[in-house]
Amino acid sequence: MLNSAHAVPTFVIRRGTPADAALLAEFGARTFREAFAADNTAEDMAKHLASAWSPSLQEGELRDPLLDTLLAVAPEGAPSKNTPGGALAGFAQLRAACAPACVPTHKPIELKRFYVDRPWQGRGLARELMAEVERVAQRHGARELWLGVWERNERAQAFYRKCGFEKVGTQIFVVGDDPQTDHVMLRTL
Ligand SMILES: CC(C)(COP(=O)(O)OP(=O)(O)OC[C@H]1O[C@@H](n2cnc3c(N)ncnc32)[C@H](O)[C@@H]1OP(=O)(O)O)[C@@H](O)C(=O)NCCC(=O)NCCS
């Protein structure tokens, strides 16, 4: 609940289910566009959004046993339901997958996506979501968490460094037709 105009409401962080597919698709596309549209061409952005976000794509992800989706949602009746994302304020996805060679580990898990809606950035929700990501990763028996973050996304890099991640290499992430360089960051659990 909101205690004051500047307080962060108490969000519930829960597992996403296939019933969340449309909500996640809308939220994921919007927050990606808001974060990166200014630094990409309209063509690359449209191509990427079409390839990554739709209710059917997210339904497949939410049914994928190798992917964990965590949703930070406002409790029923909370005033924060009036924010642009409605009940949803952020999400994270963890993927049990092979790590790039620069990740020196035998028990890796990837933080595939990590997004907090603008009204809640800088207000502590990202830390709460990261703490839950770490708990889920540990339940999987992972010893390290790794991620890719665009070399130009300095805010996210600063946040990840605050959470104990360090740069260990680079990888390419293609947005539309643009092969971009991501920093690969790693932290032990
Ligand atoms: C990345 C994200 C989850 C971080 O959550 P957040 O609530 O914004 O994080 P915080 O505010 O706690 O930390 C960000 C830090 O970066 C700093 N910062 C802000 N803008 C910055 C910039 N341009 N360059 C460097 N540091 C910057 C902030 O001051 C803050 O540090 P501080 O706490 O020491 O003041 C959130 O910003 C987000 O969802 N961004 C859009 C999507 C995205 O980029 N996701 C990550 C994809 S890999």
**How does pLDDT run across 109-124, given as a tens digit for each residue?**
999 999 999 999 999 9
CA 121 vs. chain centroid, Å, equals 13
What confidence tier does 58 reach under pLDDT thresholds 50, 70, 90?
very high
Separation of 179 CA from ligand 1 center, angstroms? 23
Q: What per-residue confidence (pLDDT) applies to 86?
A: 59
Q: What per-residue confidence (pLDDT) applies to 84?
A: 52
Mean pLDDT of the region 69-87? 71
What confidence tier does 1 reach under pLDDT thresholds 50, 70, 90?
very low
Judge if the beta carbon of residue 157 lies within 6 A of ligand 1: no
Q: What per-residue confidence (pLDDT) applies to 97?
A: 78
Helices (H) and strands (E) in the chain, counts: 5, 7
Work out the mean pLDDT of the chain and round it to a whole number: 90
Separation of 159 CA from ligand 1 center, angstroms? 5
Q: What per-residue confidence (pLDDT) applies to 112?
A: 97
pTM exceeding 0.95: no
Which atom number of ligand 1 is nearest to the Cα of residue 90? 39
Answer for the pair 24, 88: CB distance below 8 angstroms, yes or no. yes
pLDDT above 60 (res 65) = yes
Separation of 121 CA from ligand 1 center, angstroms? 7
Q: What per-residue confidence (pLDDT) applies to 11?
A: 87
Q: What per-residue confidence (pLDDT) applies to 21?
A: 96
Judge if the beta carbon of residue 35 lies within 6 A of ligand 1: yes
Separation of 84 CA from ligand 1 center, angstroms? 19
Q: What are phi and psi of 63, to 5 degrees?
A: -95, -10
Judge if the beta carbon of residue 156 lies within 6 A of ligand 1: yes
Look at the chain and count its residues. 189
Judge if the beta carbon of residue 149 lies within 6 A of ligand 1: yes
**What is the per-residue burial (b if ≥16 Cβ within 10 Å, else e) of 89-112?**
bbbbbbbbeebeeebeeeebbbbb
Which atom number of ligand 1 is nearest to the Cα of residue 158? 16
Highest mean pLDDT among 7-16, 22-31, 96-105: 22-31
